Structure 1
Amino acid sequence: MSVRQNKFARRAQDRQQGKQLVARDAPPSVEEQLTRLEDDIRRLKVEFDIYFNGGTKRPPYDTKGRVETLIKRLGDERGFNFAQRYHYNSLVARYTAFRDLWRRTILEREEGRTHAPTRVNGASTAALAAINAGGPSVAFICADARADVPTIKSLYDVLVDAKRLCGEPTDNFTFSQFHRLVVAKTETLKERLGCDRVRFS
């Protein structure tokens, strides 16, 4: 009887150890979730472009719902550092601008207004309205522009999106040029004002 009990005990112990050895997927980090959100926004933009060009019959509302769910989930995140919070705000501002533009375009299609949008100084009125309604303003504090590449890159991405919405060319507007400009402006302002940080908005 004791031998049988020992056998059962060993089997139970082996099963318990096996469960402990099973690797569980770690929850995604904040950086991974931000990267996913950025990719999903880019994918959603492509899907809406395909829809507006007649490639699909229905707007990509499923993808849109997933993006908005992820935005809300990250909005409740309390573990952001400054760069991550800025990156998140930049992505939300970008998505809000796109969302307003898509909504206006869909409304025009439903009302039968399929003519080309009016342009003001090279920018479509729909794009200008989307930018003007595009969520919270973005600002960041820069102490070392040379080292804080992720923050500068996020600002660059937002600026490029705004230029594209306005119909401005971006081919010759590279990140390296923009980074050098921000570094130069930061150093000039710090020297002139005698401060160690500069706030850009």
Structure 2
Amino acid sequence: MAKERRERMKAGGFEVEPTVEEQLMRIEDDIRRLKVEFDIYFNGGLKRPPYDTKLRLESHLKRLGDDRTLNFAQRYHYNTLATRYNSFNQLWRRTLQDREEGRGMGGNARPLVRDPNVPFERSEFSCADVKHDVRTVKGVYDALVEAKRNCGEPTRDLSFAKFHRLVTERTEALKEQVGCERVLFSVDVEGGHVSFKAKADK
């Protein structure tokens, strides 16, 4: 009933405050998006850190954290997301500090190391033009490299240029085979092994 009432209010042009569950889902999506943007920045794909996305996420976290109406399950979910964000934030801060102090640059470059306390986060990317949408493909590549490192697999021979060329070839073949315009890539770790899949995004 409550859901139907909210739908009627939306249809009538009324501003509807998002539910706690919707806010939690938004925060989870924002954490995933921010992580991808920082990965792209650290690998040279962005000129500046994604501070706008970061500030927006922190605002959402604070607003929901101050909500005293959350039940036990909602508060637990919120605390889990806040802990995940704080772990990522500490890692980003250390990496930014290293870059500012000259570490992680040139001959002293250090590979980005995952925080072992942070579980691998499944990533999905939708792309229509793999050949020219380099930013999205770079996000897929970074997620795949991170997954391989998480599983202890070598990444030395997986250059971005090689990955981009391979993904472009396979994506074009998939689009011709199933007749789709967009492809959905997913990167995950399942049972200690990297799972990299591509399917039609309908």
AA aligned opposite 1:39: D
Query: Cα deviations across residues 133-167 of structure 1 (Å, max 9, x unaligned)?
Result: xxxxxxxxxxxxxxxxxxxxxxxxx6445xx79x5
TM-score of the aligned structures, taking structure 1 as reference length: 0.52
Query: Cα deviations across residues 90-138 of structure 1 (Å, max 9, x unaligned)?
Result: 00000000000001001111111112259xxxxx4x725xx4xxxxxxx
TM-score of the aligned structures, taking structure 2 as reference length: 0.52
* CA distance in 2 between partners of 1:81 and 1:160 (Å): 27
Pair 1:51-2:45 in alignment: no
Question: Aligned with 1:40: secondary structure?
Answer: helix
Aligned ranges 1:42-81 → 2 under 5 Å: 42-81=32-71
Higher strand fraction: Structure 1 or Structure 2? 2
**1:108 match:** 98
| Larger Rg belongs to | 1
Question: Aligned with 2:190: secondary structure?
Answer: coil
Q: CA deviation at 1:22?
A: 4.5
* CA distance in 2 between partners of 1:160 and 1:89 (Å): 18
AA aligned opposite 1:36: R
Q: 2:115 aligns with which of 114, 124, 127?
A: 127
Pair 1:171-2:190 in alignment: yes
- Which ranges of structure 2 fall in alignment gaps of 5 or more residues? 1-10, 122-145, 152-188, 194-202
Is the CA contact (8 Å cut-off) linking 2:30 and 2:57 kept in structure 1?
A: yes
Is the CA contact (8 Å cut-off) linking 2:120 and 2:150 kept in structure 1?
A: no
Question: Aligned with 2:115: secondary structure?
Answer: helix
How many residues align structurally?
A: 118
Query: Cα deviations across residues 47-103 of structure 1 (Å, max 9, x unaligned)?
Result: 000100100110000000000000100011112122111110000000000000001
% identity of equivalent residues: 56
Pair 1:32-2:26 in alignment: no
Higher helix fraction: Structure 1 or Structure 2? 1
* CA distance in 2 between partners of 1:113 and 1:160 (Å): 25
AA aligned opposite 1:116: R
* CA distance in 1 between partners of 2:83 and 2:57 (Å): 13
* CA distance in 1 between partners of 2:40 and 2:150 (Å): 22
* CA distance in 1 between partners of 2:17 and 2:59 (Å): 17
Query: 1:68/1:107 Cα in 2 relative to 1: closer, same or farther (>3 Å)?
Result: same
Aligned ranges 1:146-165 → 2 under 5 Å: 159-160=119-120
AA aligned opposite 2:115: A
Pair 1:82-2:72 in alignment: yes
Query: Cα deviations across residues 167-201 of structure 1 (Å, max 9, x unaligned)?
Result: 54332159xxxxxxxxxxxxxxxxxxxxxxxxxxx
* CA distance in 2 between partners of 1:80 and 1:67 (Å): 19
Query: 1:72/1:103 Cα in 2 relative to 1: closer, same or farther (>3 Å)?
Result: same
* CA distance in 1 between partners of 2:119 and 2:53 (Å): 24
**2:87 match:** 97
